[in-house]
Chain A
Amino acid sequence: MSVEVSITDGPLPAWTPAPGLEGAGAFLLFEGLVREREGDGRVTALDYQAYEPMAQSMLAQIGADIRERFGLSAVRIEHSRGRVPVGACSFRLVIQSPHRREALRAMDEFIDRLKQDVPIWKRPVWRGDAD
């Protein structure tokens, strides 16, 4: 029964499965990638800024909330700070749960709350910008 949070510089490294899935009936992995299209423009990257440690504590709090509400086995949250190029991963949510339905609902709720309450911002780096 754990919630782990990390905020790290740049793109998130590729996911490597951790041991300990024996009790899980469902394993969900969500990755948010930087897309090239942003509105009518094209970006080469996004610059992420986080208000730390508030972002860290909010991610942990929301993770603990969904773990409790949906009876999850484990929650792992990873988010980038700084520059993340198009196509790279900037957010990862991993959920282990005894059952599939609760895991899917928990994932949806977590992402909704992330986008409402966690003090992290992104700034587009437009294609053609010097910086």
Chain B
Amino acid sequence: VGSSARCHGRGTLREHTPVPAGAAPTLPLAMTVRVLLFGPEAAAAGRDSVSVEAEPGVTCRDLLAQLGAQHAPLRPFLARARLALNSRFAAPETTIHERDEVALIGLVSGG
């Protein structure tokens, strides 16, 4: 009896390409968020996680939009999907932090 997490989705911060002197300033950091996939979403994407580029401070609502923009196979599922952060469903306005485990939870079918 028991269970264990078999994989992890984490956000990591990285620096943008340096901006030449005199160029318009950009945000200093971008965040790569790894999103865990399961069930039909994993089958559609052909893998069990995807990476999403997002700005620091991104919310769950915005990350879902970025998922659709950056991963076309997932678009049909997003209207009825939710994000979970650290194994809990998260409200759309919740901010995603660097060390959060992020999972896309579509329609479930247990039982």
Where the two chains meet, the residues of A that have a C-beta atom closer than 8 Å to any C-beta of B are: 6-8, 32, 48-57, 79, 81, 90-91, 111, 114-123
Task: A88 to B105: give the CA distance in the assembly, Å.
Answer: 27
- Pairs A-B, 5 closest by C-beta atoms: A120-B110, A121-B39, A52-B3, A54-B87, A6-B1
Q: Assess whether B88 is in contact with A91, with CB atoms less than 8 Å apart.
A: no
| Per-residue A-contact encoding for B85-102, CB less than 8 Å = 1, 0 else | 001110000000000000
The number of residues on chain B lying at the interface, defined by a beta carbon within 8 Å of a beta carbon of chain A, is 21
Known contacts: A6-B1, A52-B4. The answer to whether A79 contacts B87 by CB under 8 A is: no
Chain A residues within 8 Å of B108, by CB: 115-121
What residues of chain B have their CB less than 8 Å away from a CB belonging to chain A? 1-6, 36, 38-40, 43, 84, 87-89, 103, 105, 108-111
The total of interchain contacts (Cβ-Cβ below 8 angstroms) comes to: 73
Contact of A52 among B6, B39, B110 (CB under 8 A): B6
Interface hub of A6, A51, A120 (most chain B Cβ within 10 A): A51
Check B36 against A114 for contact (C-beta < 8 Å).
Answer: no
Q: How far is the CA of A81 from the CA of B110 in the complex (A)?
A: 10
Q: Complex: how many Å from CA A120 to CA B3?
A: 13
In the bound complex, CA of A81 to CA of B39 (Å): 13
**CB pair A57 B109 closer than 8 Å:** no
| B111–A115 CB distance below 8 A | yes
Name which residue of chain B comes closest to A8, CB basis: B1
Complex alpha-carbon distance, A119 and B39, angstroms: 9
